[in-house]
Structure 1
Amino acid sequence: MATVTFKGNQVTTFGSLPKIGDDAPNFRLIATDLSSKSLNDYLGHNVVLNIFPSVDTGVCAQSVRTFNEQAAQLDNTKVLCISKDLPFAFARFCAAEGLDNVESLSDFRDGNFGKSYGLTFVDGPLEGLHSRCVVVLNDKAEVVYTEQVAEITDEPDYEAALKSIS
């Protein structure tokens, strides 16, 4: 279990993020067109997993905007924005914001992504949602960077995450 804070109050997660050098756990997430996506769909690309509680909060929305802007400059890299939001909320948000350099994926069906990556909250007011994390994978789906943001209301370290892509 990992411990982070939400507005200064301690909350815990289901487990711990994968370790650098590990093979990333596979996943099945739902795209905005309701198709299923797995890690295998992204093999051969660097992948930034931008994970957060809900796109309907200011900090989460900003992380999607920031990665969208910076992803346009990255070669052979996919940015996946992941939460338990319904695919319809993601589609609405990205369309309204004109975001097209990120993919939005939902863990709403079974929550297995959050469990296998060890980042689902097990207590606190956001229990059942995802912790704010960034996990970067190389083109072989090996973990090259992780960050579990210590205070949920803070943004991730975009620069460090993107520098980890070689």
Structure 2
Amino acid sequence: MATTALGDTPVHTVGEPPTVGSQAPTFELTGNDFESVTLPTGTRVVLNIFPSVATGVCSASVRRFNELAASLDDTTVINVSKDLPFALASFCGAEGIDKVTTASAFASTFGSDYGVEMTDGKWRGLLARTVVVVDRDGSVLHSQVTPTIGEEPDYDAAVAALG
């Protein structure tokens, strides 16, 4: 299991996120329009995984990846949380988030398949802040669980993994 922290309290996940060189698990999430969102093939993918868009750090990461997506060729950015699609759509509409996909894992096994669902702490059941970068062939290029939930991911490392 991976370990992060919520404040000073250690928090564990159901497993480990995919490791560099491994194949990214396929998934089916629910988009803001309640349509299926799956792992794209033939393109690079950045998965920005977080607990809830209703928190400052989570919303900041969605905004930042939206900015970065504009300059990432042949790359799809998917923001994933267990927020309901209604909340994700409302946030994206209000914030002008239009260069990324947001998707809900509320009715999915994504959290356990990716090893990022938190098993303890106040936010157990939500997803730990994680970034996974996937190459065109489905292989993982970068994987990071942040040391604390309140810490933004290493955007530079995620972009660098894309080459």
Same fold (TM over 0.5): yes
Cα distance, 1:87 vs. partner?
0.6
> What residue is the counterpart of 1:146 in the other structure?
143
**What is the identity, as a one-letter code, of the residue corresponding to 1:32?**
N
> In structure 1, the residue corresponding to 2:162 is in which secondary structure?
coil
Mark the runs of 5 or more structure 1 residues left unpaired by the alignment.
Answer: none
User: Structure 2: how far apart are the matches of 1:123 and 1:77?
Assistant: 33
2:110 and 2:159 mapped to 1: Cα distance?
22
Q: For the residues of structure 2 that align with 1:3 and 1:68, how far apart are their CA atoms?
A: 27
Whether 1:128 aligns to 2:129 is no
Q: Point out 4+ residue stretches in structure 1 off by more than 3 angstroms.
A: none
Q: 1:59 aligns with which of 57, 60, 63?
A: 57
**Aligned-pair distance for 1:162?**
0.6
Q: CA RMSD in A?
A: 0.7
Q: Which residue of 1 is the match for residue 91 of structure 2?
A: 93
What per-residue deviation string (whole Å, max 9, x for no partner) do you get for residues 57-89 of structure 1?
A: 000000000000011001000000000000111
1:31 is matched with 31
- Could you tell me the percent identity over the aligned residues? 48
Give the structure-1-normalised TM-score: 0.96
CA distance in 2, matches of 1:46, 1:38: 13
d(CA) in 2 for partners of 1:69 and 1:38?
Answer: 22
The SS at the match of 1:104 is strand
- Please, what TM-score do these two structures have when normalized by structure 2? 0.98
